[in-house]
Chains A and B, each alone.
Chain A
């Protein structure tokens, strides 16, 4: 069923206000098809009816299913190109310069909600490429955390399918990926910088020990939290970030109304947060 402009705007605003994710008009058809699945599953006949369901007491649970439909299996290597370009062009050199001045040659990166590890390993590959130049003699620590142990063991294994690796530029692919029987294996040097641990972002007692990060990534995780939890978790990220560090959320996500301390830093095709 095609979605009317009014219904689209109503749902888009609802999802934005509750989850902090914006649906661009160009993604209307995508939303429409994902909605259709949830409407089938819930037996709702019209978009208005589904919208009412989302606003009802059962809405919070249904919204999680909808967000699952919207984000499912979306993770892959080199996913957010504008973000990576910004890192390479400006943010990484800037932090390296700051830390060089302090004589503190160690880079700490956190992929929060790391799932099967693509984001963490993308960073690892990117930084490996700079080992001979910008990051010569630097210590690199990349930490991936997730609440789900199954995806953590997948991440540790470092074996991927064609879909996951499709965006990796050839120059990286040749160096760091080996194909075996239709599976794609990461080279040990990429894995060497990265550790994966189980972590519940709600767990205050653990969160306070995630210290001194230069870059924190948390894409498509906060959209599942209610506003109060979001604020709490984001405050932890804020505390765990170096004064000159950057915090990234996913494409189309927003922290507006969640944390008013972070400042937005804009670059072509995206933005990041800074203290």
Chain B
């Protein structure tokens, strides 16, 4: 289907929603502050401390198995020093996205969504590292936000989206294809419209839009390929939204694999089998991270 037509359809759908969640003010301010040429950790910490929920989440995330600090980190300032400024951007963005989308709708389990998203983020970071991609945090954030359009569909097009999910259950049909056919647009274009509304940097808008078709990307096809491949791997291991989509792929035929192999020829030697098995081993860490983020929200809300 024509990409432009699908973007137009997505704009209509996203445009009709008046109560589209907004990114919290503090997150936007943190992002702006981090864009300044000289920024002090103290300033960021002071700003973040005004948002209790965000602070609690950052503390949970930094102490989670994914970041593996040697000992428990007990203050926000230490957390920020440990993470580095780049990670703060990531934290501010992701914790606020979780805020924006934190409830189940119908059959759609939001925690399964975030487990998939953080899983893709984690795998994207590992693949980025393997191919020598310059910005690991970008790959991680990219993984976390790639499927934002899916949450929109599950919340604002609930019945139509459920019908799409029902139509592919247990069948080897891709979700994007079924969406295009039944909705006239997909979660890629919907996500793109949301990202534009929230003023995400262009590179992330592109990533969301092309994470299923990385070779069509122009700004950073390598980033799109990293996230595409991570998405595929998570979809065939246990970070697959509880099996909402039956995915299968021949790795050597994937366009993302071609893009990444051109970028880093050594990828041809990757022990793919072990990579999958190690991914299985890392799944409890991802689930624990998501659980801890949701718990910190409850605790902060008490």
Interface residue ranges, A against B (CB under 8 Å): 16, 22, 24-26, 86, 89-90, 252-257, 263-271, 274
CB A174 to nearest CB in B, in angstroms, measures 22
B165 at the interface (CB under 8 A from A): no
Find out whether the CB atom of B273 lies under 8 angstroms from the CB atom of A22: yes
For B248, list chain A residues within 8 Å (CB): 86, 89-90, 265-268
For A274, list chain B residues within 8 Å (CB): 250
For B271, list chain A residues within 8 Å (CB): 254, 256-257
Find out whether the CB atom of B272 lies under 8 angstroms from the CB atom of A89: no
Find out whether the CB atom of A89 lies under 8 angstroms from the CB atom of B172: yes
For A89, list chain B residues within 8 Å (CB): 170-172, 246, 248
B252 nearest in chain A by CB position = A263
For A86, list chain B residues within 8 Å (CB): 248
Cβ-closest 3 pairs across A and B: A254-B273, A267-B248, A22-B277
Find out whether the CB atom of A268 lies under 8 angstroms from the CB atom of B235: yes
- A contact face: mostly helix, strand, loop, or mixed: mixed
CB A144 to nearest CB in B, in angstroms, measures 25
CB B302 to nearest CB in A, in angstroms, measures 33
CB-CB under 8 A for A266 and B251, given A16-B274, A255-B273, A271-B273? yes
B276 at the interface (CB under 8 A from A): yes
Among residues 235 to 277 in chain B, which have CB atoms less than 8 Å away from a CB atom of chain A? 235-238, 240, 243, 246-253, 271-274, 276-277
Find out whether the CB atom of A90 lies under 8 angstroms from the CB atom of B172: yes
CB-CB under 8 A for A24 and B280, given A86-B248, A264-B251, A266-B232? yes
Chain A CB within 10 A, most for which of B236, B240, B249: B236
B268 nearest in chain A by CB position = A260
Find out whether the CB atom of A25 lies under 8 angstroms from the CB atom of B274: no
Find out whether the CB atom of A266 lies under 8 angstroms from the CB atom of B236: yes
Find out whether the CB atom of A268 lies under 8 angstroms from the CB atom of B240: yes
For A90, list chain B residues within 8 Å (CB): 172, 246, 248
CB B165 to nearest CB in A, in angstroms, measures 15
CB A216 to nearest CB in B, in angstroms, measures 17
For B274, list chain A residues within 8 Å (CB): 16, 22, 254, 256
| Complex CA distance for A269 and B277, rounded to whole angstroms | 10
| Complex CA distance for A90 and B168, rounded to whole angstroms | 13
Among residues 5 to 61 in chain B, which have CB atoms less than 8 Å away from a CB atom of chain A? none
Find out whether the CB atom of B250 lies under 8 angstroms from the CB atom of A263: yes
CB A70 to nearest CB in B, in angstroms, measures 15
CB-CB under 8 A for A265 and B281, given A89-B170, A256-B274? no
Find out whether the CB atom of A265 lies under 8 angstroms from the CB atom of B247: no
Known: A267-B248, A268-B243, A270-B236. 6 other contacts (CB 8 A): A89-B171, A253-B273, A254-B274, A264-B251, A266-B249, A267-B236
Find out whether the CB atom of A25 lies under 8 angstroms from the CB atom of B246: no
Find out whether the CB atom of B273 lies under 8 angstroms from the CB atom of A265: no
For B272, list chain A residues within 8 Å (CB): 256, 264, 271
14 contacts between A and B (CB under 8 A): A89-B172, A252-B277, A254-B274, A254-B277, A264-B250, A265-B248, A266-B232, A266-B248, A267-B236, A268-B243, A268-B247, A268-B248, A269-B237, A270-B236
Find out whether the CB atom of B252 lies under 8 angstroms from the CB atom of A266: no
Among residues 210 to 240 in chain B, which have CB atoms less than 8 Å away from a CB atom of chain A? 232-233, 235-238, 240
For A255, list chain B residues within 8 Å (CB): 273
For B281, list chain A residues within 8 Å (CB): 24-26
| Complex CA distance for A26 and B276, rounded to whole angstroms | 15
CB B279 to nearest CB in A, in angstroms, measures 10
CB A87 to nearest CB in B, in angstroms, measures 11
For B246, list chain A residues within 8 Å (CB): 89-90, 267-268
For A264, list chain B residues within 8 Å (CB): 250-252, 272-273
CB-CB under 8 A for A265 and B171, given A22-B274, A25-B281, A254-B273? no
Find out whether the CB atom of A263 lies under 8 angstroms from the CB atom of B251: yes
CB A90 to nearest CB in B, in angstroms, measures 4
For B249, list chain A residues within 8 Å (CB): 265-266
A266 nearest in chain B by CB position = B236
A21 nearest in chain B by CB position = B277
